[in-house]
Amino acid sequence: MKRLLSYFYPITKKIPSDVNGVLEITWYNGRKILNSQNANYSYGSLQRILKYALNKIDVSGVQNVLLLGLGGGSVIRTLRENFNYKLKITAVEIDKSIIEIAAKEFNVCACENLAIIYGDAFNYVANFELGSTNKFDLLIIDLFIDNKVPDKFFSPEFWERIESLVAPGGFVIFNASTHSDITSKVMQLIDPLKKTFQFQILDHVEGTNTLVIGHVVK
């Protein structure tokens, strides 16, 4: 019923979260989306933005995905449905309310090759026990509080760890900003990493976002 009515007017439910402020689940034109106060978090433009990035890489060889920032899990749906990726995904999320929303509203829960870790992605990456066989072929870094990526995810410390977690031949997709005025910050970030990665910078994706794609050449 809500789906049908949403073609005539959007139907919104508000859910307070300690980490992300007031979140909104909105039925709009027959689809359910998750928004923060100033940004789409999942299943709207955000989903299209990450799909655009996934289309720029070769997903066929990917066997192990690390997703930092679960949100409502829309990129997981994209990987499963549009890229036929059925293998392992580990998702890290700092907000308990979001993990509940992903399960209750979007049917995204820890099952079928999906592990959901509650915690800070920065600490997860810093403390990850790296062996010779548990590196990731694809890391998706999609960490926002409302419309801002916390500064620590631009730090050399974080990126040195990311560099060590990517398998040879693997990819990193970093959703770096919802604004287009961060070129110098991105350039500063990628410069020391150029010996490991070949980079593509995608600007104005969906008219707004800046994405960084890094590929580790074997």
Q: Which residues bind ligand SAM (CB under 6 A)?
A: 19-20, 41-42, 46, 50, 69-75, 92-95, 98, 120-122, 142-145, 150
Residue 25: CB minimum distance to ligand SAM, A: 13
Token pair listed for 211: 């994405």
Cβ nearer to ligand SAM, comparing 146 with 163: 146
Instruction: Report the residue closest to ligand SAM, judged by CB.
Output: 71
Closest CA to 121 of 146, 140, 147: 140
Buried b / exposed e over 59-89, threshold 16 CB at 10 Å, is: beebebbbbbbbbbbbbbbbbbeeeebeebb
Residue 4: CB minimum distance to ligand SAM, A: 24
Cβ nearer to ligand SAM, comparing 25 with 75: 75
Residue 8: CB minimum distance to ligand SAM, A: 26
How far is 99 from 114, CA to CA, in rounded Å?
Answer: 13
- Tell how strand 114-118 and strand 88-93 pair up: parallel
Do the Cβ atoms of 184 and 190 come closer than 8 Å?
no
Residue 34: CB minimum distance to ligand SAM, A: 7
Cβ nearer to ligand SAM, comparing 80 with 185: 80
Q: Enumerate residues 6+ apart whose C-beta is below 8 A from 172.
A: 138, 139, 140, 141, 162, 166, 197, 212, 213, 214
Which helix (H) or strand (E) segment holds residue 190: the answer is helix 183-190
Residue 218: CB minimum distance to ligand SAM, A: 27
Cβ nearer to ligand SAM, comparing 21 with 169: 21
Cβ nearer to ligand SAM, comparing 65 with 121: 121
Cβ nearer to ligand SAM, comparing 116 with 216: 116
Q: Position of tokens 């439910």?
A: 13
Token pair listed for 129: 């026990």
Residue 1: CB minimum distance to ligand SAM, A: 25
